[in-house]
Amino acid sequence: MSKSIGWAIVGTSGWADSTFGPAIAAANNADFVGAVGSEITKTKAYTLKHGARMAYSSLKEMLADPEVDAVWIATPNHMHADMAIAALEAGKHVLVEKPMALTAAEAERMKAVSRKVNRLLSIGYHIRQHPDHQEIHRRWTAGEFGDPVQVRAHLFFGYPELPAQWRLQKETSGNWVLGDVGTHLIDHLIWFLGTPTDTRGYVSSPRFQVESGDHAVVVVQFENGGLGIAEASVGATGKGPRFEFYGTKGFAILDGTAFGESGMVLTGDLAGGSQQTETMELNLYQAQAEAFGRAIAGEETALATPDDGIQNMEIIEAARGW
């Protein structure tokens, strides 16, 4: 493990409360320094709940604290770029929640600042931290499955009711279904297939009838000839997340692993041989915080790069049509 990293989080509700805060608190190489939210009373309650020391009254106050090495930005999508740039310019390393920004142009600005100040910038694609996904990625890039043919990523995460208002508007979410669920799937297409060259997307809202969309299918062609398909929904429900990888020599399927739950890995080859194993339940968000700490220390990790985040935004922009 790398040395302890002083963490602060921006955002104290939703996933920041249920998932990200506990992940920092549990990480082996993390020191939970503090948090800042929209109201100081709620921030104080948050820090007490999760064992952080400081409840900051403003982002400026938090960024001035020398004990803070890394900042996890867990705010609505339209706030990501400005907050990330402010944190980077204050000398902090930044883990920004997905998607990286509202537009690829904003993401490019974030990347430029991170390079200028020589600070780590990554995006919260926690599924990359699953050891079974990493092992399949290792075998895929080593050529065990042959040349890339197709990657299919599927996640239907039906909301029981409408979420917070910011998710429903293009100006604040970019696109609900793609910014919330689809961006994770797109990240896996990029991680396994590389550089995208063409995107076709179809976004609809059959259940909630909102402008930001609750259902999407995205088809991406990549430079290496592989095709990627992302099927995402926050309106419809389904069996669970599924990732399928097909090459000219074999295939791999990971079923039910996106959130660290126990699932299944199936691999096979052209000769008809196959192997199936079960996966263990894991806290992928804790693993992500630990990987970020190791990356700060100079270790190689599976974290998404700014270029990954920019390409993700380019695909989302093409798919959503604005």
Distance, C-alpha 79 to centroid of its chain: 16
d(CA 260, CA 281): 5
Task: Give the global pTM.
Answer: 0.97
- Residue 218 tokens, joined: 């995205």
- Indicate if the pLDDT at residue 15 is higher than 60: yes
Give the pLDDT mean for 103-128. Answer: 98
Question: How far is the CA of 173 from the CAs of 58, 103, 153, 308, in angstroms?
Answer: 23, 10, 22, 19
Q: Are 109 and 103 in contact (CB under 8 A)?
A: no
Distance, C-alpha 297 to centroid of its chain: 21
pLDDT digits (tens, 9 = 90+) for 205-253: 999 999 999 999 999 999 999 999 999 999 999 989 999 999 999 999 9
d(CA 237, CA 41): 36
Instruction: Count other Cβ atoms within 10 Å, centred on residue 38.
Output: 10
d(CA 194, CA 190): 5
How confident is residue 1, by pLDDT bands cut at 50, 70 and 90? Answer: very low
Q: Are 35 and 8 in contact (CB under 8 A)?
A: yes
Tell me the residue type at 196. Answer: P
- Indicate if the pLDDT at residue 85 is higher than 90: yes
Closest by alpha carbon to 283, among 259, 300, 264, 299? 259
Ordered by where they begin, the domains of the chain are: 5-125 (3.40.50.720), 127-282+303-320 (3.30.360.10)
Average pLDDT for the chain: 97
State residue 2's pLDDT score.
53
State residue 305's pLDDT score.
98
Percent of the chain whose pLDDT exceeds 90:
98
State residue 110's pLDDT score.
99
- Indicate if the pLDDT at residue 4 is higher than 90: yes
d(CA 73, CA 95): 6
pLDDT digits (tens, 9 = 90+) for 36-56: 999 999 999 999 999 999 999
Give the pLDDT mean for 177-202. Answer: 98
d(CA 12, CA 206): 31
2 Cβ contact partners less than 8 Å away, ≥ 6 residues apart: 29, 293, 294, 296, 297, 299
How confident is residue 3, by pLDDT bands cut at 50, 70 and 90? Answer: confident
